[in-house]
Amino acid sequence: MAIHPAFPTSPYEILNPEHRWFPADEDLRDSSYDKLVPPLVNKIRREVKTWRENQYEGASTTSKALLNWWFSESPSPFFG
């Protein structure tokens, strides 16, 4: 199993859909990714990225506040 070379080291960084875990050796990513990762997984990852870039359009005010707090605030000293 492989992790993309650009995979972040911080557990708090939002992941780029192109830098996600891959169920084979990294050398096979270009030739076999579509065969080894279900298409729905990639579609969901790309759509979530777009949703984040659009400031969580369609989410309630409370959900937006929570999502922004979870992903925009500094990590807690208890978990970082």
Taking only the tens place, the pLDDT of each residue in 15-72 is: 888 888 777 877 787 788 778 888 898 899 999 999 999 989 999 999 999 988 887 7
Write the CA distances from 27 to 31, 74, 76, integer angstroms.
Answer: 8, 35, 36
The answer to whether residue 77 scores a pLDDT higher than 80 is no
The answer to whether residue 79 scores a pLDDT higher than 60 is no
The answer to whether residue 8 scores a pLDDT higher than 90 is no
- Residue 4 domain-assigned (yes or no): no
Alpha-helix runs per DSSP H in the chain: 29-36, 39-53, 61-72
- Residue 36 domain-assigned (yes or no): yes
Range of the domain at 31: 17-72
- Residue 54 domain-assigned (yes or no): yes
Q: What CA–CA distance (Å, rounded) separates 19 from 4?
A: 5
- Residue 12 domain-assigned (yes or no): no
Say how many domains are in the chain.
Answer: 1
- Residue 79 domain-assigned (yes or no): no
Question: Token match 């729905």: residue?
Answer: 40
